[in-house]
Each structure stands twice: as C-alpha cells, then as structure tokens.
C-alpha cells in the first residue's frame, strides 16, 4: 500500500468509513467496464468478483451510500456509476498541478487515466529554469516562481509532488500556503502539514520492501520444510538469489 493519510483522528467522514471510500474507486472502475459493455445490471456477487473483493463487503459498502440495489435483481450499472461518482466528487472538475517534472513527473503528466475521471492537469511546475516553456504532454512547464499564482488563478486544491525528497517539504509548504488542501506525494519523505490538509503517499520503495518481507518469509518456510502444524502457507519455490551468507554481515556496532 502506498497509502496512508497523515494524521486525522479517524473522523469517519460523513458516516462513510475510510476503508469503504478507498474501495469506491475500485467499484467504479469495474462498473465503468460493465457500462462500456452495455451490461444493464450486476449482482453484488458478480461486481465483487470484478473488483476483487468479498461480496458481503461490497454490499455493506454500498449500504453506506444508500439502498441502490433491487433485491432479486442486483444493481443498475448506470445508476450506480452515477451515485458513486457523485459520492467521490467526480461530477465536478478537479484541477491538479504536478510539481517536479523529472522522470516521474513527466510520466504522470503523460498518464491518460488522469483526465478520464474529472482530474485535469492545470499546470506542470518545475524549479529548473531550463525547463520553463518546454512542453511536456502538450503542456508548457512553468517555473516554480509562478506556483502561488497558478494555484490561485486556477483554484487548484489538489497538488502532486514528484520532486526529489529534499525539496518535497518546501514545495508542500508553498502548495499549502497557496491554498492546496490535498497532496499526493511521490517523494520518499514524511510531509508535515497543518490540520485540514490531506496527504497520501505513493512509495515504490516501501512497496518493494513489503514484498521482500513476504518473499523472504515464503522462502524461509519452504526451507524449514513442512514440519509446521498447519499447511496454511504452501511450500512455494526455491529462494531467489539467496546465498544469504550465514549472518556474516552483521554490523560491528552492537547494542549493549
């Protein structure tokens, strides 16, 4: 998960649990697919399968939105698409700025899935003067000096940070001061923001480390043989490139 909001006393927003909110986009995507194939209705079972979740969970999630299903039939696809879109705030336009147009920033700018759901790239901002004016994904990059003006002029409330880690907090502060209240952070740093500002982070490195943990565990289990009492975790394959020297690389510094 590259997710994680910063702070927030678990204030269940308007009665809709945070976990449910995080799944609504998933349902919406599955529903959009059905809609394109002109499927009129879906059962909770079918939709749940498409979204990769439990059907009971899906029904409970939808129950927070209201009673939009028909017993014995299922859910009307178009209607549900609309209801979820409205709930997520996608019936309006969200201008977004991307700050830090390097490798990642440029990829994000080129990302088509951006505009598809009400998100519009209002501006690309970079601190490098050499980049100012350069078109990326059809949009001319603007210099950081313009940041406040851009935010203000476009009524931007969502900012994406893809600068190096060292610049992230500073950029964040400027964004917030200029009026941005939601930030998607790709830089590997913990951002501190005032109350009322939401931060979500996407951290590739963390994701890989979590995978490595489970990978190691799988390999270890296999090595340990199946003397475990329960066959819950299957044997799986051989450890990857693991000639993990016999703990030979313990740092010299020991605790006490």
Partner DNA sequence: ATGTCTTTGTGAACGCGTGCACAAAGATGA
Partner DNA sequence: TCATCTTTGTGCACGCGTTCACAAAGACAT
Q: What is the CA 9 to chain-centroid distance, rounded?
A: 20
Residue whose structure tokens are 């009971």: 56
* Pair type for strands 119-126 and 94-99: parallel
Q: What are 160's strand-pairing partners?
A: 98, 184
- Identify the residue among 12, 214, 217, 244 touching DNA (CB under 7 A): 12
- Identify the residue among 67, 92, 205, 227 touching DNA (CB under 7 A): 67
9 interacts with a copy of itself by CB under 8 A: yes
In the sheet with 69-70, reading across from the earlier edge strand, the strands are 41-42, 74-76, 69-70
Min CB(43)–DNA separation in Å = 4
Work out the angle between the directed axes of helices 44-51 and 18-36 (0-180°, nearest 10).
Answer: 100
- Contact predicate 165/158, CB 8 Å: no
Task: Look at residue 92 and give the partner it binds from DNA, ligand NAD, a copy of itself, none, a contact being a CB closer than 5 to 8 Å depending on partner kind.
Answer: a copy of itself
Min CB(24)–DNA separation in Å = 12
Distance CA 12, CA 7 (A): 13
Which residues lie closer than 8 Å to 36 by C-beta, 6 or more apart?
A: none
Nearer Cβ to ligand NAD, position 94 or 111?
A: 111
Task: Look at residue 132 and give the partner it binds from ligand NAD, DNA, a copy of itself, none, a contact being a CB closer than 5 to 8 Å depending on partner kind.
Answer: none
Distance CA 210, CA 205 (A): 9
Binding mask 173-212 for ligand NAD (x = CB under 6 A): -------------xxx---------------x--------
Distance CA 71, CA 193 (A): 45
232 interacts with a copy of itself by CB under 8 A: yes
Nearer Cβ to DNA, position 47 or 150?
A: 47
Which residues lie closer than 8 Å to 221 by C-beta, 6 or more apart?
A: 228, 233, 235, 236
171 interacts with ligand NAD by CB under 6 A: yes
3 interacts with ligand NAD by CB under 6 A: no
- Identify the residue among 31, 62, 96, 105 touching ligand NAD (CB under 6 A): 105
Binding site for ligand NAD (CB under 6 A): 99-105, 107-108, 110-111, 113, 125-128, 144, 162-165, 167, 170-171, 186-188, 204
């Amino acid at each position: 998960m590259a997710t994680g909001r910063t702070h927030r006393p678990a204030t269940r927003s308007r009665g809709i649990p945070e976990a449910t909110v995080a799944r609504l986009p998933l349902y919406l995507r599955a529903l959009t697919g059905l809609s394109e194939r002109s499927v009129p209705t879906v059962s909770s079972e079918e939709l749940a399968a498409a979204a990769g979740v439990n059907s009971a969970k899906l029904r409970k999630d939808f129950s927070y939105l209201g009673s939009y299903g028909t017993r014995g039939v299922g859910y009307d696809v178009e209607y549900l698409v609309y209801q979820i879109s409205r709930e997520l705030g996608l019936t309006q336009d969200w201008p977004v700025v991307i700050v830090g147009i390097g490798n990642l920033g440029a990829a994000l700018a080129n990302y088509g899935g951006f505009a598809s759901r009400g998100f519009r790239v209002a501006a690309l901002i970079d601190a490098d003067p050499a980049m100012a004016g350069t078109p990326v994904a059809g949009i001319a990059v603007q210099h950081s000096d313009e940041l406040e003006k851009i935010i203000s002029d476009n009524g931007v409330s969502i900012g994406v940070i893809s600068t190096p880690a060292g610049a992230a907090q500073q950029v964040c502060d400027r964004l917030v001061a200029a009026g941005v209240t939601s930030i998607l952070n790709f830089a590997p740093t913990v951002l501190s923001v005032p109350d009322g500002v939401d931060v979500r982070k996407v951290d590739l490195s963390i994701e890989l480390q979590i995978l490595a943990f489970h990978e190691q565990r799988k390999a270890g289990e296999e090595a340990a043989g199946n003397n475990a009492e329960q066959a819950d975790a299957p044997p799986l394959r051989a450890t990857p490139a693991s000639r993990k020297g016999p703990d030979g690389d313990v740092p010299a510094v020991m605790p006490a």
